[in-house]
Homo-oligomer: A and B are copies of this chain.
Amino acid sequence: MAPLLKPSFHIFHHHHTRWLVTGLLPLPQTLILLLPRLNHSVSSPIPTFRLHSTVSAAQTQHLDNAGTGSVSSLSSVQQPEYSYQQRIDVNPPKGTRDFPPEDMRLRNWLFNHFKEVSNLYGFEEVDFPILESEALYIRKGGEEIRDQLYCFEDRGKRRVALRPELTPSLARLVIQKGKSVPLPLKWFAVQQCWRYERPTKGRRREHYQWNMDIIGVPDVTAEAELITSIITFFKRVGITASDVGFKISSRKVLQEVLRRYSVPDHLFSRVCIIIDKLEKIPIDEMKKELRSCELSEEIVEELLQILSVKSLAKLEEKLGTVGALDDLKRLFSHVENCGYSEWIQFDASIGFVREGRMRAICGGGRYDQLLSTFGGDDIPACGFGFGDAVIMDLLKEKGLLPELSLNVKNIVCSLDADLQGEAGAIASILREKGQSVDLVLENKPLKWVFKRADRVNAERLILVGRAEWQKGMVAVKYLSSGIQNEVKVDELE
């Protein structure tokens, strides 16, 4: 099979975040990779401890194990006979997460920022099935991709996969819509993606990914729009240009070098595949492979030198004025026009080398050839994928994660079991006015009610007592000040 000459950054993103390792080399024309600037020590996620259903209900001690450690002693508890009340495995499947309320609040906080920024940029939200035909990914990435897919044969004997990324689905939908949608399309999504990996420590099999894609714009103004939207997100959550930086490159630069040395165009993809082995195989072995592509020693040295260039000015010094540089310069100028010059940096090696111990936060670029690879019209496209894992680690390390708690405006409680229905009616009145209410559903001592009020961060406690009720009133206590008033039910605000 011929290597795919398709541009895509998503795979690079995956590759660099180790989310998905590509078999065949993608060839983005422009490549954007965003890495944390500081070599901060992001700790690996703690591997989920798995209780293999060895604890029975008879042994009903509460474990208080929120999924991590400290329960290993229980593995030794033997349950000789199978019993129907044998305890299930309380952990989510390997490599997946539950989202209890405290985690869900943070997830919603992050996703709301993704969505609000996308809306600021005039993008429309889309979604696709989490399950797609395996063929979609193999067409894009080659047979080798299957090793990283969470794929299986369904009961109808179809080869399907839990999507590893959103771009192939997006391309599929764009082709399906055809000319019924006017270009350019500006679409975003915040959805879950999956991979399959052999069990290794602390590597998850799912993550959420924010994607923004622009379909139908060939100019670098589209890349600039994507980069500035990511910067807008960072500014909103408090991350600065000293925390993270964009590294930007273009494969056209490499192509230019090869052309200059009269290397035929058809060798370009082969050369890229070899260069992609940089830092994976010894440098001498790589040089040998390059020379086997009819490249002279001089060209090989020149290529490797070009890859080490870290500024556009130096690249221009080396290459002179060439077309490949123009787009990059215009892209930088657009981002600088918005006042964001300190965020971006040229780096010719992006897409080829690993960034040491730093983990990529997001990756993106142009993938003009994907739609035609899928058999659609030749429509230019670019976009990015931004995972939820590395950014959350970074925000945590920088102390930028907000303290989010449940916030209910009112807690309503009857002081008498017989008034439970009346308390429900009061709750109903307040909710119809748009106020949130935690209704106490059982007869509980006041001490318990105050503790609950504190936990749900209630602003007011509304007590339904016999004496007040007979006057058509309830007691309203403002919990921060302690002030308590009797209020007529029909005057409750």
Q: Which residues of A come within 8 Å of B, CB atoms?
A: 1-2, 53, 55-57, 60, 62-67, 84-94, 96-101, 104-105, 107-108, 119-122, 124-133, 135-136, 139, 150, 152-156, 158, 160, 162, 169, 172-173, 175-182, 184, 186-187, 192, 194, 196, 198-199, 206, 214, 217-219, 221-222, 224-225, 228, 232, 333-334, 337-339, 372-377, 406, 408, 411, 420-422, 424-425, 428, 431-432, 434-439, 441-442, 451-452, 455-456
Contact = CB atoms under 8 A, between A and B. Distances in A.
Given A126-B100, A214-B441, A375-B56, A132 B428 contact: no
13 contacts: A1-B84, A2-B84, A88-B374, A92-B129, A94-B156, A100-B181, A120-B435, A122-B411, A122-B439, A129-B206, A152-B154, A221-B424, A222-B441
A121 B133 CA distance: 40
Given A56-B375, A96-B129, A154 B150 contact: yes
Contact of A431 (B120, B152, B219, B224): B120
Contacts of A178: 62-65
A104 B127 contact: yes
Contacts of A196: 154-155
B130 A373 contact: no
A419 to B, nearest CB: 10
Contacts of A232: 431-432
Which 9 residue pairs across A and B have the least CB separation, nearest first?
A: A87-B375, A122-B438, A62-B178, A101-B124, A96-B129, A90-B176, A337-B421, A99-B127, A338-B428
B158 A434 contact: no
Contact of A437 (B121, B376, B451): B121
Contacts of A62: 178-180, 377
Contact of A122 (B66, B184, B228, B408): B408
A375 B56 CA distance: 6
A420 B225 CA distance: 12
A347 to B, nearest CB: 22
Contact of A99 (B60, B96, B128, B437): B128
A121 B56 contact: no
Contact of A441 (B182, B225, B435): B225
Nearest to A92: B129
A87 B121 contact: no
A122 B456 contact: yes
Nearest to A235: B432
Contacts of A53: 135, 375
A126 B97 CA distance: 11
Contact of A434 (B120, B206, B224): B120
Contact of A199 (B86, B156, B169): B156
Most chain B CB inside 10 Å of its own CB: which residue of A67, A120, A179, A434: A120
A398 B420 CA distance: 36
Query: Which of A2, A434, A441 is most buried by chain B, counting CB atoms within 10 A of its CB?
Result: A441
B375 A86 contact: yes
A153 B154 contact: no
Nearest to A205: B131
A180 B180 CA distance: 54
B93 A131 contact: yes
